[in-house]
Amino acid sequence: EAPLIRSAEYWFDDGNIILQVESTQFRLAKSTFSMHLSVFRDMFTLPLPANEPTIENCPVVVLPGDTAEDWTLFLGAIFPK
């Protein structure tokens, strides 16, 4: 299993949710991210299980079936630099 790495571009210290795709983690603000995608807005309103993993008090949501490269490109469209 590959070691986990933080996205160099999409790891925001003020983020409050961590999305993990493959071995890459993206730390984002729920409010900013869900503003662009209603499916995540709905997901973020659900309570997290008590045993949900966390990093720095942020819940970690694992997103299987996608690639970190795809998510980096996708986030670039949502968070233009």
pLDDT tens digits for the chain (81 residues)? 789 999 999 999 999 999 999 999 999 988 887 776 776 766 667 777 778 889 999 999 899 999 999 999 999 988 777
pTM assigned to the model: 0.83
| Full domain range(s) for residue 46 | 5-78
Question: Whose CA is closest to 71, among 1, 2, 5?
Answer: 5
Q: Total domain count for the chain?
A: 1
